[in-house]
Amino acid sequence: MYVNSMFGDTGFFLIFISISILIFRTDYARAKFIMIISIFFGLIYLGVSVYFQYYGMFFSFYNLATFSATGGGEALGFLLASLWTLLKQANFTFTISAVLMTILFILIFFRNRKNQVFRKSSLISGMKRIYTGLGLLIFGILMMVSSLGAYKVNIDNTWYEDNATPLYGSQAVGLFNFYVYDAYSYYLTGKEGYTDDVIEKIREKLENYKNPDYLSPIDGRVTKNDDYENIFADKNLLLIQVESLNNFAIGLKIKVGDEFVEVTPNLNQLVGKSVYFNNYYTTVGIGNTSDAEFTALTGLYPRGFNFTVYEYANVDYQTLPKIFSEEGYTTFSAHANTGEFYNRSINHPKLYGFDYHLAREQMEYKPEDLIHGWINDEIFLKKTIDQMKVESKDGPVFALAITVSCHMPYNDPEERYNEATLFPGKENLLPDNFKMVKNINLNEQLTGYLEHVSYTDYAIGKALEYLEETGLAEDTIVVLYGDHGSGVDAFQMFYENSELFENSINPVLTYDENEVVRKLHERRMLSQVPMMIYDAASETSIEPQTISLVRAHNSLARTIATLFGCEQTYYFGVNALSDTRTFAYNPRNFDIFVDGFTISGQSIDYVIEKGYEDIYNFDKMGDIVEAFRRKKDFNDKLLKSEIFPKLKE
């Protein structure tokens, strides 16, 4: 497939060489055209690398739903606002070919600029030009088509037929050859469909999920997953989805002067009062925050490079708000952004079954309450609690609060009403001269993230205090989790400036000479987000503890439903409080996370942590990869087949 990819891209470039011969009559004009094309495609290469850096996945034309849907302008704005920071860390080796072509053009032609003959000369002229141009054009097209044909034969009747990523496709048929095919598929073909036989098989497999027992692919045990069942029945639930909260921030301290300062002091304290999951993984694809909402509320993974809440939002999934409503709860979601972003004002009631969605336009706020144009997390969370207080007069309440203040880009807020502080009510984590101190080499993206996550921690601390003040604490369970990673530079943070950081709750990343091991460790750490279950009552119903088994967003709905005694038809994921051993995966790049074990589901590179060498072997790794492939294949077919009942208009 590597040779095949070179074959495909060679054909692609031959087409442009043929165009230069057919359209232009002189070598000078042809060379100028090739130079311009080289610059253009060099920038495309650079753009793909920057996109990968921002999203952690290769671009696909199917990703364009992110920017074309309602609120897409704001999504594009996030990317553009971060562009300068990303470009400063971009890999400019992708532009070398463009630079070389420009230098060659100057050396060959401009040294003869006084001689006008070279502007009229041509190595290929007359009918020979037509024959050569058409020949190269046909040959280039045949190379591209044959490369794509070989790829399709290679994946036919394999797992990759339905599950190949843009990265896999571009490596197999060539970057530009793949994108021609991807654009054709996106713009000219309809939604993928399945035959009746395949639909029936999907229905049969779905029936298996009505069984609460779980067969672990890790240790082969069958567990019932009914731990702590019904202990929170009839209590309120405040579910907080925290923007860009990585698990490495919990317990993190940064050296300021001669002292180490806590980045998240309130969350650090909450660890000792909660059930804390320190080996918990985000499962988001291109949809980022909206994907986290989807998985947390349904127990199903997003596909990865498709925009879930737009492409698969027209069927009646089993969701957490729906099963809470059946138990007599009032349910609502809230976000400090406009209700049109991710189409929440429509999707949250219609798709997820919330009674209503509370957006920025439904909240009263002052200009000084804004951060980056959104209501700041402190005010937003307090307004959500106020709404819970109002609704609790009629019975128990389930509220989902989605924070936003820690969203990229991590620039200083435009709304600064106090020059001494970045955020209202909170002192800065780092002094203004922090980056000027000798030997400190932290870029503004990283220091900006630390300031933003520290503010979010402050806001959560204030919200929990406010929960006490309103009298809701005794009857409210708080569950919080990070939606996705922050995208910061782990290399610069933990390798180049390791002396600046320490952590007494979570281990910090350490450098490994083996590049494969190092990259897998980095990707695992950046995929970890925290999850906490906090009983705010004076007499708690559950013992504070730390659970280190692998868990992920897809376990959240089942865990909460079990704790609150809600009736479930389907059991997706596992009960996170059980002793079940399971795996999680990243839909963007197919990384598979197991206790003490990380595997790339694409390259099958892996790393086994110390102490786990006797548990895993080659056969066990094969079993885990196969379990992942079965899981992803069924999960994605479940979304694409749309076999659940259609939503009413």
Tens digits of residue pLDDT in 198-207? 999 999 999 9
Q: 3-state secondary structure string, 341-360?
A: HHHHHHHHHHHHCCCEEECH
Cis bond upstream, residue 409 (ω within 30): yes
CA distances 391 to 240, 388, 453, Å, are 18, 5, 30
Q: Residue 173: what pLDDT?
A: 92
Spatial separation of the C-alpha atoms in residues 34 and 13, rounded to whole Å = 10
Spatial separation of the C-alpha atoms in residues 316 and 646, rounded to whole Å = 6
Residues 500 and 446 sit within 8 Å (Cβ to Cβ)? no
CA distances 144 to 6, 249, 346, 519, 536, Å, are 10, 47, 43, 33, 62
Q: Residue 455: what pLDDT?
A: 97
Residues 615 and 609 sit within 8 Å (Cβ to Cβ)? no
CA distances 149 to 7, 144, 405, Å, are 12, 9, 48
Sheet of 584-585, strand order: 584-585, 591-594, 597-600, 606-608
Q: Report CA dihedral (145, 151, 153, 157) to the nearest 10 degrees.
A: -140
Tokens matching residue 385? 């609690």
* 3-state SS assignment for residue 586: coil
Q: Residue 111: what pLDDT?
A: 62
Q: Residue 487: what pLDDT?
A: 81
Tokens matching residue 550? 């692998």
Q: Residue 356: what pLDDT?
A: 97
Residues 12 and 170 sit within 8 Å (Cβ to Cβ)? no
Spatial separation of the C-alpha atoms in residues 289 and 78, rounded to whole Å = 13
Tokens 């620039």 belong to which residue?
A: 411
Residues 554 and 283 sit within 8 Å (Cβ to Cβ)? yes
Q: Residue 473: what pLDDT?
A: 96
User: What domains does the chain contain, in order, with CATH numbers?
Assistant: 2-188 (no CATH), 222-572 (3.40.720.10)
Report the chain's C-alpha Rg in angstroms: 27
Q: Residue 409: what pLDDT?
A: 82
Instruction: Tell me the pTM.
Output: 0.90
Q: Report CA dihedral (432, 438, 442, 448) to the nearest 10 degrees.
A: 0
Residues 112 and 118 sit within 8 Å (Cβ to Cβ)? yes
Residues of the chain with pLDDT under 70: 65-86, 88-89, 111-120, 190-192, 436-439
> What is the DSSP code (8-state) at residue 426?
B
388 φ/ψ angles, rounded to the nearest 5 degrees: -60, -40
Please count the residues of the chain.
Answer: 649
